[in-house]
Amino acid sequence: MLRPIVAVLAVFLAVLAGTTIDARAQEINDYPTSARAEYVFGCMKANGESRQSIEQCSCSIDVVASIIPYDRYVTAETVLSMAQVRGNLGGQFRSSEQAANALNDLRRAQAEAEVRCF
């Protein structure tokens, strides 16, 4: 009688552990493919369009994605884009503390990626 209970418990624990692993994998891989591709294309433009740069730039976005969540990445990218706008609107993005924090997070992640991948 004890064997079936142990077997059911073992299956339950295995499913629970698998769910936790899947959730963690999803959390780490929360960047959509299009965002990763866009990053790699931009990185390759800056670092040469070679096979080596594909490897390095792919590594770089993987490192960035492992450090900052996608929503924080989108915030930083938006700040970078909007800070280029002239006038009051662009000035708000250049002088906001929240914008500066998002940019600092992205820059730290990119610096770590530079060390690991290039």
pLDDT tens digits, one per residue of 31-58: 999 999 999 999 999 999 999 999 999 9
Compute CA 74 distance to the chain's CA centroid, rounded to the nearest angstrom: 9
What is the rounded distance in angstroms from the CA atom of residue 64 to the CA atom of residue 60? 6
pLDDT at 47: 95
3-state SS assignment for residue 29: coil
pTM tops 0.85: no
Ranges under pLDDT 50 in the chain: 2, 4-13, 19-22, 24-25
What is the rounded distance in angstroms from the CA atom of residue 25 to the CA atom of residue 30? 9
Structure tokens at 52: 């080596």
* H-state helical runs in the chain: 2-28, 33-47, 51-67, 70-82, 87-95, 97-117
